[in-house]
Each structure stands twice: as C-alpha cells, then as structure tokens.
C-alpha cells in the first residue's frame, strides 16, 4: 500500500540521488516573493545549481511567501547539500538587496540567532521522498495548481502563472532553462 502522500517527515535528511517534494517557507510567512526581483534570484540560483550538475529540478512554483519544488540532489556543493547552498545564497542575495533598496523591510527578518542576524527561510523545510510515480504526479499537480487556490487567485490556469513549471509541462518549452521532465524517473 502506498504511503500517505501528506506525511511530513521534517526531521529526515535528504539523500543524494533521491527525488523530493520540498517546501521552503519564508519566515513568519512574509510575502517577500510578491517582489519579482526576488523570484528571479530563486530562478537564477536554481539554474546555476542545475548548470553545475548539483541538482535536477522537475517542477516548481514560487508563491508570495513560500515555494515548492520537486527536485533531486545530485552532488554535494563543496561540503554541503545543494538545498543548503540554495537557502544560503538566496537569503544572502535578497538581504543584500533589502539593505540597499528596502531597508524598512529588513527588520521583519531580524532574529537573535548565534549564527545570523537575519533569517529569510523558516527552519525545517518540508522534504517528502517521492518514491512512487503516483505520489510524484500528485505533488506536481499540487504545485501547478497552488496559484489557483482560492486564497491566492494568482491566475486562472496553471500554465498562465509565470513563476511555475506548469507551462513547461503544457507546451514542452522550458523558459527557465533548467527543468527536466519527470516522466520515467521513478
């Protein structure tokens, strides 16, 4: 019997060469990704990690305060997992811009951690192993339909939302230059 697709195992570590549904949420659910230039930082970082053969991205959506990915960690990025590099780099780039362009927003991300003064991503992102095709397809459908949810209403059709892989699966055209079709991976 297939495992519950909504089981959340927040304490497990991601493994290389496994495909995961991943959710990263912005601290306190702040809608930082309402600003397109911050979504572009996410896109550029994913593209860089794919080009360096550290990850494979099968599906994604960037929402105003969180993102979902179906991705695979291929190789360590130095001594760390690529998802850690992704979180560090996107945080650094966004905070650099906030300091220069939007200093009034920066205090919303202030934390009193030993290792940092500001936090973009909440701790403990959700990682669910995609070990069946059915589970994988359910999560990709969820990702592509996320912008249509009543609470968001960001578009009328999944492929109309610019910050998602839905158009890639509808047309076969990869405008982001980093997507891989999921069919046949499990």
Per-residue pLDDT of the chain (186 residues), as tens digits, is 333 333 333 434 688 889 999 999 999 999 999 999 999 999 999 999 999 999 999 999 999 999 999 999 999 888 889 999 999 999 999 999 999 999 999 999 999 888 888 999 998 899 999 999 999 999 999 999 999 999 999 999 999 999 999 999 999 999 999 999 998 676
**Ordered structural domains, the chain, with CATH:** 19-171 (3.30.70.1290)
Contact (CB, 8 A) for 87 and 29: no
Estimate to the nearest angstrom the gap between the alpha carbon of 109 and the chain centroid: 19
Mutual angle of helices 36-51 and 82-101, in 10-degree steps: 150
**pLDDT for residue 4:** 34
Number of H helices, E strands in the chain: 4, 4
Q: Rounded to the nearest 5 degrees, what angle is found at the Cα of 154, between the Cα atoms of 153 and 157? A: 90
């Amino acid at each position: 019997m297939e495992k519950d697709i909504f089981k959340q195992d927040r304490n497990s570590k991601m493994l290389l060469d496994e495909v995961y549904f991943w959710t990263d949420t912005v601290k306190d659910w702040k809608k930082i990704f309402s600003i397109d230039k911050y979504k572009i930082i996410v896109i550029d970082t994913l593209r860089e990690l794919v080009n360096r053969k550290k990850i494979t991205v099968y599906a994604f959506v960037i929402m105003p305060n969180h993102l979902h990915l179906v991705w695979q960690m291929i190789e360590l990025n130095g001594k760390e997992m690529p998802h850690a590099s992704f979180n560090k780099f996107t945080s650094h780039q966004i905070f650099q811009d906030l300091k220069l362009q939007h200093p009034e927003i920066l205090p919303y991300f202030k934390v009193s951690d030993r290792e940092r003064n500001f936090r973009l991503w909440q701790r403990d992102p959700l990682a669910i192993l995609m070990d069946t095709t059915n589970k994988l397809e359910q999560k990709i459908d969820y990702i592509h339909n996320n912008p249509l949810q009543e609470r968001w209403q960001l578009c009328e059709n999944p492929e109309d939302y610019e910050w998602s892989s839905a158009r890639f699966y509808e047309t076969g055209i990869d405008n982001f230059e980093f997507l891989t079709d999921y069919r046949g991976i499990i």
